[in-house]
Each structure stands twice: as C-alpha cells, then as structure tokens.
Chain A
Amino acid sequence: QSALTQPASVSGSPGQSITISCTGTSSDVGGYNYVSWYQQHPGKAPKLMIFVVSGRPSGVSNRFSGSKSGNTASLTISGLQAEDEADYYCTSYTSSNTYVFGSGTKVTVL
C-alpha cells in the first residue's frame, strides 16, 4: 500500500487560510469516508484534528475543517495562528482493512 501524497510544505501568514491536500486512490481515500487528520508538534505525540473527512473532535478549533472530492481529501486551516505551525498527516482506511498515512506536510507560519 503506497503512502498518500501530501505536499511537503505549506506556508502562510498569520490570519490567512491554507489548504493541505491528501491524494490517494479509489482503494483508500476515494473509496471510503474514513479519512482523518493529525497534527504533530516537534517531539510530541500526534493529535486528532479531523475524523470521517470533516468531523471535528471537541476541543479542536473550528478554524480547522476537512473535505473530500474523489481521491483527494483536504484540510483547511483558516485564520492561521503561530500555534498552528506543526506537521500534519492524513490517514485513510483501505480496502485491505489496513490504514495508510500521508507523507506529512510541514506548515510554516510566516
């Protein structure tokens, strides 16, 4: 199972919106709505930010939103803040009853 494709880095200024893409295949992202996103600060454990494409856990800012079209899922961060600077990973359930991760995107707040 190949890793999902994410851009290596995305940057934006405070207050701006950025979008991270996550491209897979019809056997994972395109075949199921089981896409979730995780934020990871350096040296820290990952944190769930989005589940089932667009669900947001309690406690996660509504500046984070998710969507999906075809084989590509997206995470949008609006009103970018310094604390959003981190690595972001998408993951999807697959037709093999396994889970595949994206390669990770480093978000930089300029």
Chain B
Amino acid sequence: EVQLVESGGGLVEAGRSLRLSCSTSGFTFGDYAMSWFRQAPGKGLEWVGFFRSKTFGGTSEYAASVRGRFTISRDDSKSIAYLQMNSLKTEDTAVYYCTRGPIEGARFFDCWGQGTLVTVSS
C-alpha cells in the first residue's frame, strides 16, 4: 500500500524558515516525481512545486508565489521528499500536502498524504 506521511508543520514567525518532510513507503520512490501542494484555511488547493525523478533530470519547478523562497529536495535512499520554506509570510499559512507525481506522460497526482498544518504568525 502506498503511504505518504508529512511532518514538520507548526507555528512559525513571519520571516523565519521551516522544513517539511514527506516520508513514503509502498512504492519505488526513485521512479517518481514528488510534489507539494497547499490549502489555506477555507480556501482551494494550490500547487507549490515538484521535483522530478533522476530518470527525468532531477530538476524542479515552482509556482510563482513561492519561487525563490521555497525549495523542494529529495533523498531517494530514504524515500523522503522535503519542502524547505524560507522567508515565510503570513499568507503561507496552510495545510501542506505531499503527493506522488506528476506522473510522467500523464501529469496527474495519484497519491496524497494527510497534510501538515503550517501557521505563520506576524
């Protein structure tokens, strides 16, 4: 069974940094791109970014709203994806989800974690 478990969320002051982790099991982690999404309280879903598998270049893409502040990385030996968030703003307050995907050639996200809440205070 595929499982994704996010951790590292919490309360942080604006301007500070936080790193989220996504621990996975049940699939060959290195074969897949991994993505992060977020959902502000009472709002819709927002794509944050993804990190391709090494097979497809091991590069990353980001939403304009986080580019330059957020960095996604991965440790294939541990099957963990990370989201490093710097210069946090109050508008970054959200539940953050990690997902498997985008699936190469089809560009969808098939498995989601349960999410971890990040609250940025002023």
| Chain A residues within 8 Å of B, Cβ to Cβ | 1, 3, 32, 34, 36, 38, 40, 45-48, 51-52, 55, 57, 89, 91, 93, 97-104
Chain B positions within 8 Å of A, measured between CB atoms, are 37, 44-47, 61-64, 97, 102-103, 106-115
CB distance from B111 to the nearest CB of A (A): 8
Report Cα–Cα, A4/B46, bound state, in Å: 11
A103 to B44, CA, bound (A): 6
The distance in angstroms between the C-alpha atoms of A99 and B47, with both chains bound, is 6
In angstroms, Cα B84 to Cα A27, docked, is 29
Closest A residue to B63 by CB, please name it: A98
Rounded to whole Å, the gap between the CB of B28 and the closest CB of chain A is 19
**Residue of B61, B110, B111 touching A98 (CB-CB under 8 A):** B61
The smallest C-beta distance from A33 to any residue of chain B, in angstroms, reads: 9
Query: By the criterion CB–CB under 8 Å, are A104 and B102 in contact?
Result: no
CB distance from A50 to the nearest CB of B (A): 9
Residues from chain B with a CB closer than 8 A to the CB of A48 are 108-112
Partner of A45, one of B47, B106, B108, B112: B112
